């Protein structure tokens, strides 16, 4: 890592990505300005705005802290301990990603008398701890045991040095969790917990006056950027740059019998609550209602549409994320920071705000793609960019920069070096990022509803339609299939987290 000029071949595509990601902000500024200073001030100065912002931040803080605790503990047990069945638990730890949060919330509300803050914390934590587990497990399995040995030889404990070295990967995961919670609407609404996004949705749903919603959207962007900046300040990237995979594997720690029983109970309970419980809930829908019917034509149509747009979304997101991720890993300076941080903007906004901004721009400037699949795919890319950028950055950081320097000294241009050295080395990590985006895009609802081609239904929109009329039994096949399909990339991600340990 050094302060070098970013080659145009990387800078140009990265700038395109950043511009795309910042598009929604342009829309929000236009709509906010319509209300004049008066309208803006009226929205910002309401006591309720502050109250809800604090609630959202509180929820995000608690969920993120819990996800970090769960993610690190599970990753350590799976990668570093002799927990029985740890390979199975490693895969199970990634599978909650396949559970749509609104399905989990429905199940919890129906089965247990749980709502409000506690209910929201429970559901969001159970759905999003894999965001921390996955990067931490990867970092743990790559950690050079020498560092720990030094700590031990100096009479220090193992955990301090391990935790310190896990900080960047845990922080990256925590950032995704925090942003996810801030933009979340469906699950918290089912849990009857009003948050910041509730107010944005209410402005659209009730007022038909778009200024308040836009002002609140901008405020949400601002809050997210503050968190992103704080995370990157604390990251201190240079000192954590990897020097390739260590020569030796870290040792497996033997658990004492009591600890082992506890660890087993902990891992089992998490998997049961996060994956087993929603599955059981869907089974209950199926058995309890009379609307159960399967229209194979509709079902297969929805599967095809879901897989098509989600796969295209994953590929486009990854393609756009590669230049930004490489720049974030290998270059410093204001431009590099700006490019990386701008990609977080789309992710911080609720789906409806994102979708309306794409309606606004597409209708005016590229009507040919409006209500066609390509527009939806681009929207997915903006929504899910941070996960892909993070994956690219992390995997590029793993390969030693010296290899690239050798290629350069042999006369390759910076771009040739990227193609011949950086990308091939980072490819597995980049593909894992694509899998994560694929899985998230399959579950997406609000933007899909507004941007899909008229007549196209995905599994998520079908699920929405069936539950919206109370036909839970008819919704069950869609929910089950959605979870099953999303479980495939989830399984691959979980297995990947184990790969390097055995």
Partner 1 sequence: MSLRRLVAAALVPLALLASACGGGGGGGGEGQSFDDNSLVIYSGRNKNLVGPLIDKLRTATGLDVQVRYGDSAELAAQILEEGADTRADVFFSQDAGALGALSKHQMLAPVPQELLDRVAARYRSSEGTWVGVSGRSRVIVYDPRTVAAPPKSVFELTDPKWKDKVGWSPTNASFQSFVTALRVVAGEDKARQWLEAMKANGAKSYPNNVEILNAVDDGKLQLGLINHYYWYEKVAENGPNGVPSRLAYLPGGDPGALVNVAGVGMLKGTGHGEAAKKAMDYLLGADAQKYFADTTKEYPLVAGVPTAPGLPPFDSLKGPEVDLSKLDSLEQTITMLQDVGLV
Q: In a 10 Å sphere around its CB, with 0-12 CB exposed, 13-18 middle and 19+ buried, how is residue 209 labelled?
A: middle
Residues 218-237 that bind partner 1 (CB under 8 A): none
Any contact of residue 291 with partner 1 (CB under 8 A)? yes
* The binder of partner 1 chosen from 73, 81, 198, 268 (CB under 8 A): 198
* The binder of partner 1 chosen from 29, 363, 402, 406 (CB under 8 A): 363
What are the distances in angstroms from CA 370 to CA 13, 355, 452?
23, 11, 9
DSSP string, 174-205: HHHHHHHHHH--HHHHHTT---HHHHHHHIII
Q: Which is nearer to partner 1, 149 or 298 (CB)?
A: 298
Q: How far is CA 287 from the centre of its chain?
A: 33
Tokens found for residue 408: 């350069």
- Phi-psi label, residue 226: left if phi above 0, alpha if psi -120 to 50, beta otherwise: alpha
The pattern of x and - marking residues 317 through 356 that bind partner 1 according to CB under 8 A reads -xx--------------------------------x---x
The minimum distance between CB 198 and partner 1, in angstroms, equals 7
| Cα–Cα dist 498/489, whole Å | 15
What is the C-alpha end-to-end distance of the chain, expressed in Å?
31
The minimum distance between CB 410 and partner 1, in angstroms, equals 16
User: How crowded is residue 335: how many other Cβ atoms within 10 Å of its Cβ?
Assistant: 16
Residues 420-439 that bind partner 1 (CB under 8 A): 420, 423-424, 427
Any contact of residue 272 with partner 1 (CB under 8 A)? no
Stretch that binds partner 1, among 56-64, 135-143, 204-212, 268-276 (CB under 8 A): 204-212
Q: Which is nearer to partner 1, 27 or 131 (CB)?
A: 27
Q: In a 10 Å sphere around its CB, with 0-12 CB exposed, 13-18 middle and 19+ buried, how is residue 97 labelled?
A: buried
Stretch that binds partner 1, among 44-52, 160-168, 241-249, 269-277 (CB under 8 A): 44-52
The minimum distance between CB 63 and partner 1, in angstroms, equals 20
Any contact of residue 13 with partner 1 (CB under 8 A)? no
Any contact of residue 315 with partner 1 (CB under 8 A)? yes
Q: Which is nearer to partner 1, 241 or 311 (CB)?
A: 311
**Which helix (H) or strand (E) element contains residue 173?**
helix 158-183
Q: Taking a C-beta distance cutoff of 8 angstroms, is the pair 417, 347 a contact? A: no
Any contact of residue 58 with partner 1 (CB under 8 A)? no
User: How crowded is residue 23: how many other Cβ atoms within 10 Å of its Cβ?
Assistant: 20
Any contact of residue 199 with partner 1 (CB under 8 A)? yes
Tokens found for residue 109: 């509300």
The minimum distance between CB 385 and partner 1, in angstroms, equals 15
| Cα–Cα dist 321/343, whole Å | 9
Stretch that binds partner 1, among 8-16, 76-84, 288-296, 329-337 (CB under 8 A): 288-296
What are the distances in angstroms from CA 497 to CA 135, 248, 329, 440, 488?
8, 17, 21, 18, 14
Any contact of residue 26 with partner 1 (CB under 8 A)? no
Q: Is the dihedral of CA 477, 479, 481, 484 positive or negative?
A: negative
The minimum distance between CB 278 and partner 1, in angstroms, equals 17
Q: Which is nearer to partner 1, 162 or 430 (CB)?
A: 430
Q: Which is nearer to partner 1, 104 or 498 (CB)?
A: 104
Residues 436-495 that bind partner 1 (CB under 8 A): 446, 449-450, 452-457, 461, 465-466, 468-474
Tokens found for residue 161: 């040095």
Any contact of residue 97 with partner 1 (CB under 8 A)? no
| Cα–Cα dist 279/486, whole Å | 13
Residues 101-140 that bind partner 1 (CB under 8 A): 109-110, 113
Any contact of residue 312 with partner 1 (CB under 8 A)? yes
Q: What is the DSSP code (8-state) at residue 245? A: S
Q: Which is nearer to partner 1, 115 or 149 (CB)?
A: 115
Any contact of residue 419 with partner 1 (CB under 8 A)? yes
Any contact of residue 9 with partner 1 (CB under 8 A)? no
Stretch that binds partner 1, among 41-49, 132-140, 255-263, 327-335 (CB under 8 A): 41-49
The minimum distance between CB 171 and partner 1, in angstroms, equals 29
Q: In a 10 Å sphere around its CB, with 0-12 CB exposed, 13-18 middle and 19+ buried, how is residue 137 labelled?
A: buried
* The binder of partner 1 chosen from 123, 309, 349, 397 (CB under 8 A): 309
* Count of residues touching partner 1 (by CB under 8 A): 73
Any contact of residue 57 with partner 1 (CB under 8 A)? no
Q: Which of 216, 50, 71 is nearest to 135 (CA)?
A: 71
The minimum distance between CB 336 and partner 1, in angstroms, equals 22
Q: Which is nearer to partner 1, 120 or 141 (CB)?
A: 120
The minimum distance between CB 181 and partner 1, in angstroms, equals 18
Q: Taking a C-beta distance cutoff of 8 angstroms, is the pair 358, 449 a contact? A: no
* The binder of partner 1 chosen from 22, 81, 144, 194 (CB under 8 A): 194
The pattern of x and - marking residues 238 through 257 that bind partner 1 according to CB under 8 A reads --------------------
| Cα–Cα dist 454/450, whole Å | 9
| Cα–Cα dist 71/132, whole Å | 5
């Amino acid at each position: 890592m050094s302060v070098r000029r970013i080659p145009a071949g990387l800078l140009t595509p990265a700038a395109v990505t950043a511009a795309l990601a910042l598009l929604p902000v342009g829309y929000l500024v236009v709509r906010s300005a319509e209300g004049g200073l008066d309208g803006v001030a009226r929205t910002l100065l309401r006591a309720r705005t502050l109250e809800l912002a604090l609630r959202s931040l509180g929820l995000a803080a608690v969920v993120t802290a819990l996800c970090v605790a769960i993610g690190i503990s599970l990753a350590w047990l799976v990668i570093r301990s002799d927990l029985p069945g740890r390979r199975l638990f490693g895969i199970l730890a990634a599978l909650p990603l396949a559970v749509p949060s609104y399905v989990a919330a429905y199940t919890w509300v129906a089965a247990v008398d749980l709502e409000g803050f506690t209910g929201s914390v429970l559901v969001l934590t159970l759905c999003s701890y894999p965001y921390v587990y996955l990067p931490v497990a990867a970092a743990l399995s790559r950690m050079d045991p020498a560092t720990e040995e030094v700590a031990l030889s100096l009479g220090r404990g193992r955990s301090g040095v391990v935790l310190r070295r896990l900080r960047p990967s845990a922080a990256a995961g925590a950032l995704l969790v925090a942003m996810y919670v801030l933009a979340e609407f469906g699950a918290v609404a089912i849990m009857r917990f009003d948050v910041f996004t509730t107010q944005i949705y209410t402005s659209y749903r009730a007022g038909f006056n778009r200024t308040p919603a836009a002002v609140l959207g901008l405020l949400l962007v601002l809050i997210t950027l503050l968190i992103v900046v704080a995370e990157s300040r604390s990251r201190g990237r240079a000192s954590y740059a990897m020097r390739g995979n260590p020569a030796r594997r870290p040792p497996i720690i033997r658990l004492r019998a009591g600890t082992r029983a506890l660890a087993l109970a902990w891992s089992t309970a998490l998997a049961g609550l996060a994956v087993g419980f929603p599955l059981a809930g869907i089974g209950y829908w199926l058995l309890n209602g009379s609307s159960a019917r399967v229209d194979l034509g509709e079902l297969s149509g929805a599967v095809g549409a879901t897989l098509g747009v989600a796969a295209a979304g994953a590929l486009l997101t990854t393609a756009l994320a590669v230049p930004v991720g490489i720049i974030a890993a290998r270059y410093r300076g204001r431009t590099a920071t700006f490019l990386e941080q701008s990609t977080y903007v789309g992710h911080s906004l609720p789906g409806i705000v994102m979708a309306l901004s794409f309606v606004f721009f597409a209708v005016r400037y590229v009507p040919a793609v409006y209500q066609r699949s390509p527009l939806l795919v681009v929207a997915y890319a903006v929504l899910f960019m941070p996960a892909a950028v993070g994956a690219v950055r992390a995997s590029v950081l793993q390969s030693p920069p010296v290899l690239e320097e050798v290629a350069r000294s042999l006369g390759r241009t910076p771009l040739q070096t990227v193609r011949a050295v950086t990308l091939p080395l980072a490819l597995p990590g980049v593909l894992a990022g694509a899998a994560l985006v694929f899985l998230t895009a399959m579950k997406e609802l609000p933007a899909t509803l507004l941007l899909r081609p008229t007549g196209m239904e995905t599994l998520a929109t079908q699920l929405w339609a069936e539950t919206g009329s109370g036909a839970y039994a008819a919704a069950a096949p869609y929910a089950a299939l959605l979870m099953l399909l999303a479980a495939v990339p989830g399984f691959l991600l979980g297995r990947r987290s184990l790969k390097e340990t055995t």
